[in-house]
């Protein structure tokens, strides 16, 4: 599969993804998500990132960030990100409670946060400038399965 440019990747996202409101209680595995999958009711960063990947036919379980970081069967840690890899940020290098976004281009991440309230694309410097996101824990790539 040819790697998409940032412009191509973002242009293909439908309006319903861009319109997703931040709702912190809607995280993977929460009761707020049970029976109401998808983004129409809002999402936290993880749920949002996973739904973006699903739109591009990449699937991971509805893990919390620490489970995602620890996984070695469906994802792999990579040193250099490419579009549709996941980026994890936190105040420290602890993956528990980390912020998750989707890499869309060189040093740029699509994510959903309480601060932005709606999906936004930030540069790595934007994350580093905020205490709660100042540490890039790393990147995870979803392994394609036949």
Query: Rg of the chain over CA atoms, in angstroms?
Result: 14
pLDDT digits (tens, 9 = 90+) for 125-140: 999 999 999 999 999 9
CATH at 71: 3.90.1720.10
pLDDT digits (tens, 9 = 90+) for 26-40: 888 778 787 777 888
Predicted local distance difference test score (pLDDT) of residue 5 = 83
Residue 1 lies in a domain: no
Predicted local distance difference test score (pLDDT) of residue 145 = 60
CA distances from 81 to 18, 73, 98, 104 (A): 22, 18, 17, 9
pLDDT digits (tens, 9 = 90+) for 85-109: 999 999 999 999 999 999 999 999 9
Closest alpha carbon to 68 in 133, 143, 120, 125: 143
Residue 35 lies in a domain: yes
Average pLDDT estimate for 4-21:
90
Q: How many domains does the structure of the chain reveal?
A: 1
Query: Domain range holding 103?
Result: 6-142
Average pLDDT estimate for 59-63:
90
């Amino acid at each position: 599969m040819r790697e998409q440019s940032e412009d191509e990747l973002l242009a293909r996202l439908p309006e319903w993804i861009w319109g997703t409101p931040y709702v912190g209680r809607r995280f993977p595995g929460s009761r707020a998500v049970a029976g109401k999958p998808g983004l129409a009711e809002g999402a936290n960063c993880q749920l949002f990132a996973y739904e973006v990947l699903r739109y591009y036919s990449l699937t991971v379980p509805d893990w919390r960030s620490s489970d995602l970081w620890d996984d070695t069967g469906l994802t792999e840690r990579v040193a250099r990100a490419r579009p549709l890899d996941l980026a994890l940020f936190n105040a420290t290098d602890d993956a528990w409670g980390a912020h998750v976004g989707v890499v869309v281009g060189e040093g740029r991440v699509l994510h959903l946060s309480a601060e932005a309230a709606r999906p936004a694309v930030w540069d790595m410097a934007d994350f580093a400038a905020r205490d709660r996101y100042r540490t890039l824990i790393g990147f995870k790539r979803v392994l394609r399965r036949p």
